[in-house]
Amino acid sequence: MNTINWRRVIQVGLIMGVVVLIASIIGMVQTFDERDMIAGLLTLGQLLLFAPAFYGGFSVAGKDERRAPVPTLLAGLLAGALAAVPVVLLVALAGFWTTIRDYFVNVSPQLIEILTFGRESVSGSLLLLGVMAGLGLLGAAIHLIPQRVRRPFINATMFTLVFSLFSDVPLNIANQFLSRDLVRLVFPSKGITVVAAVVIFALALAVALWWEFSGRARRQQQQATITPEARRRNSLIVMVVSLALLLVLPRILGIFLTNVVAQVGTFVLMALGLNIVVGFAGLLDLGYVAFFAVGAYVTALLTSTGDLGLGVNFWIAMPIGVIAAVLFGIVLGIPVLRLRGDYLAIVTLGFGEIIRVLVRSDLLKPVIGGAQGILDVGRPNFGSFTFVTPEHYYYLILAGCMLALFIAWRLRDGRAGRQWMAVREDEDVAEAVGINLVGTKLLAFAIGAGFAGLAGAIFGSRVGSVFPNSFELLISINVLAIIIVGGVGSLPGVVLGAFVLVGLPELLREFVEFRLLIYGILLIVMMLVRPEGLWPSAVRRRELHAAETDEPSVAAAEGPLHEEVQPLV
The verdict on 140 and 151 lying in the same domain is no
The verdict on 277 and 330 lying in the same domain is yes
Q: Which of 294, 312, 320, 260 minimizes the C-alpha distance to 462? A: 260
Q: Are 274 and 452 in contact (CB under 8 A)?
A: yes
Task: Tell me the per-residue pLDDT of 316-335, one tens digit each, with 9 for 90 and over.
Answer: 999 999 999 999 999 888 88
The verdict on 256 and 338 lying in the same domain is yes
Number of structural domains (the chain) is 3
Which element (helix H / strand E) includes 381? strand 381-382
Task: Tell me the per-residue pLDDT of 242-254, one tens digit each, with 9 for 90 and over.
Answer: 999 999 999 888 8
- The answer to whether residue 240 is domain-embedded is no
Which element (helix H / strand E) includes 37? strand 36-38
The verdict on 424 and 495 lying in the same domain is yes
The verdict on 99 and 195 lying in the same domain is no
Q: What is the predicted pLDDT for the residue at 113?
A: 92
Beta bridge partners of 38: 42, 192
Which CATH number covers residue 369?
A: 1.10.3470
- The answer to whether residue 176 is domain-embedded is yes
The verdict on 75 and 22 lying in the same domain is yes
- The answer to whether residue 402 is domain-embedded is yes
- The answer to whether residue 51 is domain-embedded is yes
- The answer to whether residue 387 is domain-embedded is yes
Q: Which of 289, 282, 250 minimizes the C-alpha distance to 455? A: 289
Phi-psi region of 487 (alpha: psi -120 to 50; beta: other; left: phi over 0): left
The burial class, CB within 10 Å (0-12 / 13-18 / 19+), for 17 is buried
Q: Are 486 and 493 in contact (CB under 8 A)?
A: yes
- The answer to whether residue 554 is domain-embedded is no
The verdict on 262 and 338 lying in the same domain is yes
The verdict on 104 and 155 lying in the same domain is no
Q: Are 351 and 362 in contact (CB under 8 A)?
A: no
Mind spelling out the 3-state secondary structure of 148-210?
A: HHHHHHHHHHHHHHHHHHCCHHHHHHHHHHCCHHHHHHHCCCCCECHHHHHHHHHHHHHHHHH
Q: Which of 116, 144, 172 is the last residue of a domain?
A: 144
Q: Are 518 and 503 in contact (CB under 8 A)?
A: no
What value does the mean pLDDT of the chain take? 87
- For residue 492, how far is the Cα from the chain centroid? 13
Which element (helix H / strand E) includes 38? strand 36-38
Q: What is the predicted pLDDT for the residue at 398?
A: 94
Range of the domain at 400: 250-547
The verdict on 302 and 393 lying in the same domain is yes
Alpha-carbon gap, residue 275 to 290, rounded angstroms: 16
The verdict on 449 and 432 lying in the same domain is yes
Q: What is the predicted pLDDT for the residue at 61?
A: 83
Q: Which of 197, 217, 237 is the last residue of a domain?
A: 217
- The answer to whether residue 230 is domain-embedded is no
- The answer to whether residue 564 is domain-embedded is no
The burial class, CB within 10 Å (0-12 / 13-18 / 19+), for 412 is buried
Beta bridge partners of 192: 38
Q: What is the predicted pLDDT for the residue at 63?
A: 62
The verdict on 8 and 133 lying in the same domain is yes
Which element (helix H / strand E) includes 42? strand 42-43
Phi and psi (nearest 5°) for 247? Answer: -70, -35
The verdict on 418 and 331 lying in the same domain is yes
Q: Which of 115, 144, 173 is the last residue of a domain?
A: 144
Q: Are 164 and 191 in contact (CB under 8 A)?
A: yes
Alpha carbon distances (Å) from 212 to 58, 199, 200, 534: 21, 20, 18, 21
Those residues of the chain that have pLDDT short of 70 are 1-2, 63-67, 544-569
Alpha-carbon gap, residue 533 to 482, rounded angstroms: 10
